[in-house]
């Protein structure tokens, strides 16, 4: 039997699995089977990540073969293969794998975040030069209140900001906005789940 | 070709065409123009015309001649089917010079276009409307011919290209003259054969063009003297033009590397100065303003000694610097409570960063030094894996360190069968999504909820869960501010949070000043042109 992803069998399997996981959350006695299903999903996700790794390798190998900026691709392929091999050989907590993480990946990501801090400061500095409208003024005023309200400036506390305006913005305005955002996200997630369960959306290609 | 030179083409004409020529010559007998020496020596005499012409046509012809003798002298006869060779007839050489064969004669150049307009070589001999007045017909025909003549005259006016367009054409790419033979040109007359004298006749052998050397095309731009003078004048004008006025706002808006370096230097100095001087002048946050942080302190204080505490370590390397003082303060409190720490992470970098914190900050702690904690490792699979771990922690697939024993074999974890068996669940998250996933997936499974230790950027989103019912999030502390606050709650004055707090205070102060100065400068450079333009308009008015 040819079980291609485009056949109705795939849709039936996906919908049945989704309904089973949903029902098992409300009906006791199916916990073990539900966890087994979830473990299968985890294994599939791990295999998907491995496939992604292979795809990345193939893409950059083709670039090297076709000489499309091959230097970056060579560096990526060598680094990827070396890290993958070392981690498989000695484990993620091995000395060499830890050295690679601590001395290459960690400084690079931390440096990028430091550059981001400077870039954001520069953008805020030049905001009024680029967009001199009402919303820009509101943005700058809000930024000023939050920054001054987050702590003392040069060791000097300004109580009206640190005790009144700052907490008010943090605990009321931003929280209210975030709750509205979360409700929207929840409704969207609920709708997406329902559409998959009834077969209206078939992200698996059925 | 000498073989043809001695022959008269009129001798080769068929009988019917010869008779037609004779009738035409007879019709021209009364025409003054036709009284000139005939082109063909074998033209018949005028007396033969009435015998072959119908009576009705003769009457029309005689009436036409009586009414318009002058017009008849200028225009061809209606019955004249012989093609006119205007210049050739007028400039025809004497009889003794006509030894040249007719087919070698060049077609006569028609100089008088009016003759062409009046030329009607294929006019029928008789009008199809005999009842109509010939005078009316002649008038309308004359007017129509005049209109056609005017239209043709306008149509054949040669186009004059502007000099700049001619200069764009590559020199020599196009022949300057029409390379076609004279016989192929419009208006050319056939010089020989049965169609001799007829114009616009297609060549008998179009597939045999004249073989000649193709013109040599030059790839260079040919510039005449006049065009060169114009180009030089234009170049001089461009050189003398003043540069456009510089837009001050646009000039400032362009990336300015110097400004980048200045901002970076100011921030670095502001942060490094208190660290170098061990400054402690900044006042730490008031705990009364942050009850959610106080809740965490209360919950950690209530953890029984030796009980397992789950620490979900969802930290990115880029935000480790912000998270380190806060995580250090919380873990220090937990270790003081002699809790058995159990680390797990849904991020591949999470276990390594957890080990880094323990190695950097708690290497002297007996529990850490003796390995009295558990590292469950990386939990791969995203939300599905997280849901599986929360539902069945022991059944989840974990990628622990290869070669290390199963962490669940630790006796301290024996009572753990479900998530709520942990005495406390602490989510250390640098992103809002990771914290939200833990809060939402564990909702309903933890009666007292969990506590979140987050970065400053994740706090606004997670703060919305603080007042949820049922309780999902009991406490929240975030950022360097949270670290300073928590150390204040623990009356700790030498912690990492306290050291960072002054650097944070100076750094924030520097950033606020930069933003204010930049905003004022931006306002000023926008106001300045407005004032200038306003003043200019006032002067103008």
pTM over 0.90? The answer is: no
Beta strands in B52-101 (DSSP E): none
Separation in Å, CA of A122 to nearest CA in chain B = 7
- Residue B314: strand pairing partners: B429
3-class SS of residue A133:
coil
Residue-by-residue pLDDT tens, chain B, 541 positions? 344 444 555 666 777 877 777 777 775 555 544 444 444 444 444 444 445 667 777 777 777 666 555 544 444 444 444 444 444 444 444 444 444 444 444 444 444 444 444 444 444 444 444 444 445 555 555 555 555 555 555 555 556 677 777 766 655 455 555 555 555 555 566 677 777 777 766 665 555 555 666 666 666 777 888 888 898 998 888 888 877 766 655 555 555 678 888 899 999 999 999 999 888 888 899 889 899 999 999 999 999 999 999 999 999 999 999 999 999 999 999 999 999 999 999 998 899 999 999 999 999 999 899 888 998 988 888 888 898 899 888 887 777 655 567 888 888 888 999 899 999 999 999 999 999 999 999 988 888 889 999 999 999 999 989 988 888 999 999 999 999 999 999 988 888 999 899 999 999 999 999 988 888 887 777 665 555 555 444 444 3
Disruptive mutation site among B371, B381, B432, B481 for chain A (greatest number of A CBs within 10 Å): B381
Band (pLDDT 50/70/90 cuts) for residue A85 is very high
Three-class HEC string of B175-208: CCCCCCCHHHCCCCECCCCCCCCCECCCCCCCCC
Residue with tokens 């833990």: B438
Q: Which residues of B touch A139 (CB under 8 A)?
A: none
Closest CA to B389 of B439, B441, B455: B441
What kind and span of H or E run contains B295?
helix B291-301
Q: What is the pLDDT of residue B381?
A: 84
- Give pLDDT tens digits for A3-45: 455 578 888 888 898 899 889 888 888 888 888 888 888 888 8
Buried/exposed code over B428-439 (b: 16+ C-beta within 10 A; e: otherwise) = bbbbbebbbbbb
Separation in Å, CA of B413 to nearest CA in chain A = 20
Cβ neighbours of residue B273 closer than 8 Å, sequence gap 6 or more: B279, B506
Q: What is the pLDDT of residue A190?
A: 92
A121 and chain B in contact, CB less than 8 A: yes
Q: Which residues of A touch B517 (CB under 8 A)?
A: 125
What the block records as the tokens of B242 is 């003043």
How far is B335 from B424, CA to CA, in rounded Å? 13
Band (pLDDT 50/70/90 cuts) for residue A54 is very high
> DSSP string spanning B415-459?
T-SSGGGSSEEEEEESSHHHHHHHHHHTTTT-TT-EEEEE-TTTH
How far is A157 from A71, CA to CA, in rounded Å? 52
Model ipTM?
A: 0.84
Mean pLDDT, rounded, for A89-115: 88
Beta strands in A36-111 (DSSP E): none
How far is A154 from B386, CA to CA, in rounded Å? 43
3-class SS of residue A106:
helix
> Are residues B380 and A143, on separate chains, in Cβ contact within 8 Å?
no
Cβ neighbours of residue B38 closer than 8 Å, sequence gap 6 or more: B25
The gap from C-alpha B357 to its chain's centroid, in whole angstroms, comes to: 52
What the block records as the tokens of B61 is 């012809």
Q: How many CB atoms lie within 10 A of CB B339?
A: 26
């Amino acid at each position: 039997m040819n079980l291609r992803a485009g056949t109705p069998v795939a849709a039936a399997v996906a919908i049945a699995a989704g309904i089973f996981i949903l029902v098992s959350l409300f009906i006791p006695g199916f916990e073990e089977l539900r966890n087994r299903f979830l473990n299968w999903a985890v294994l599939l996700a791990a295999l998907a990540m491995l496939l992604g790794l292979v795809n990345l390798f193939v893409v950059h190998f083709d670039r090297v073969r076709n000489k499309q900026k091959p230097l970056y691709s060579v560096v990526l392929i060598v680094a990827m293969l070396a890290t993958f091999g070392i981690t498989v050989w000695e484990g993620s907590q091995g000395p060499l794998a830890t050295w690679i993480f601590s001395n290459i990946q960690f400084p690079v990501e931390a440096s990028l975040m430091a550059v981001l801090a400077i870039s954001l400061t520069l953008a805020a500095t030049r905001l009024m030069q680029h967009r001199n409208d009402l919303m820009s003024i509101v943005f700058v005023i809000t930024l000023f209140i939050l920054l001054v309200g987050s702590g003392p400036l040069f060791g000097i506390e300004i109580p009206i900001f640190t005790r009144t305006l700052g907490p008010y913005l943090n605990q009321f305005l931003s929280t209210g906005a975030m709750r509205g955002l979360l409700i929207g996200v929840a409704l969207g997630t609920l709708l997406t789940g329902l559409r998959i369960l009834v077969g209206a959306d078939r992200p698996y290609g059925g | 070709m000498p073989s043809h030179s001695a022959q008269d083409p009129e001798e080769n004409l068929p009988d019917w065409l010869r008779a037609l020529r004779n009738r035409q010559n007879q019709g021209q007998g009364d025409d003054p123009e036709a009284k000139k020496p005939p082109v063909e020596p074998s033209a018949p005499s005028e007396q033969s015309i009435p015998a072959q012409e119908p009576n009705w046509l003769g009457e029309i012809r005689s009436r036409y001649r009586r009414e318009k003798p002058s017009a008849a002298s200028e225009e061809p006869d209606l019955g004249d089917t012989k093609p006119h060779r205007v210049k050739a007839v007028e400039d025809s050489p004497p009889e003794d010079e006509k030894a040249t064969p007719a087919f070698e004669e060049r077609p006569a150049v028609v100089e008088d276009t009016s003759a062409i307009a009046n030329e009607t070589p294929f006019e029928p001999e008789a009008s199809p409307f005999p009842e109509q007045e010939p005078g009316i017909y002649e008038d309308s025909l004359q007017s129509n011919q005049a209109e056609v003549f005017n239209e043709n005259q306008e149509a054949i006016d040669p186009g004059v290209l502007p000099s700049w367009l001619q200069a764009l054409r590559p020199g020599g790419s196009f022949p300057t003259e029409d390379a076609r033979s004279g016989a192929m040109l419009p208006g050319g007359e056939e010089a020989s054969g049965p169609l001799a004298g007829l114009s616009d006749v297609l060549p008998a052998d179009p597939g045999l063009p004249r073989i000649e050397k193709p013109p040599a095309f030059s790839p260079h731009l040919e510039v005449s003297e006049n065009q060169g003078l114009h180009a030089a004048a234009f170049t001089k004008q461009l050189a003398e033009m003043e540069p456009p006025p510089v837009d001050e706002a646009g000039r400032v808006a362009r990336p300015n590397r110097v400004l980048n370096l200045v901002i970076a230097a100011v921030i670095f100095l502001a942060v490094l100065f208190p660290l170098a001087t061990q400054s402690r002048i900044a006042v730490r946050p008031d705990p009364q303003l942050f009850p959610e942080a106080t809740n965490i302190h209360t919950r950690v204080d209530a953890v029984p000694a030796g009980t397992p505490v789950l620490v979900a370590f969802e930290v990115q390397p880029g935000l480790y610097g912000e998270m380190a003082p806060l995580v250090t303060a919380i873990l220090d409190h937990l270790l003081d409570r002699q809790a058995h720490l159990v680390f797990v992470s849904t991020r591949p970098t999470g276990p390594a960063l957890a080990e880094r914190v323990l190695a950097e900050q708690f290497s002297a702690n007996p529990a850490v030094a003796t390995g009295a904690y558990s590292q469950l490792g990386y939990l791969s699979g995203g939300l599905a894996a997280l849901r599986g771990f929360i539902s069945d922690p022991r059944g989840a697939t974990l990628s622990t360190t290869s070669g290390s024993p199963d962490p669940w074999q630790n006796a301290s974890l024996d009572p753990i069968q479900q998530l709520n068996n942990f005495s406390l669940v602490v989510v250390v998250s640098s992103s809002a999504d990771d914290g939200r996933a833990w809060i939402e997936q564990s909702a309903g499974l933890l009666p007292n909820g969990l506590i979140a230790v987050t970065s400053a950027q994740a706090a606004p989103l997670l703060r919305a869960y603080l007042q949820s019912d049922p309780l999902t999030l009991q406490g929240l502390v975030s950022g360097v501010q949270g670290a300073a606050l928590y150390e204040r709650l623990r009356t700790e004055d030498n912690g990492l949070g306290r050291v960072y707090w002054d650097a944070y205070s100076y750094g924030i102060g520097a950033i606020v000043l930069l933003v204010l100065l930049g905003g004022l400068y931006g306002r000023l450079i926008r106001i300045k042109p407005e004032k200038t333009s306003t003043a200019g308009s006032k002067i103008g008015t």
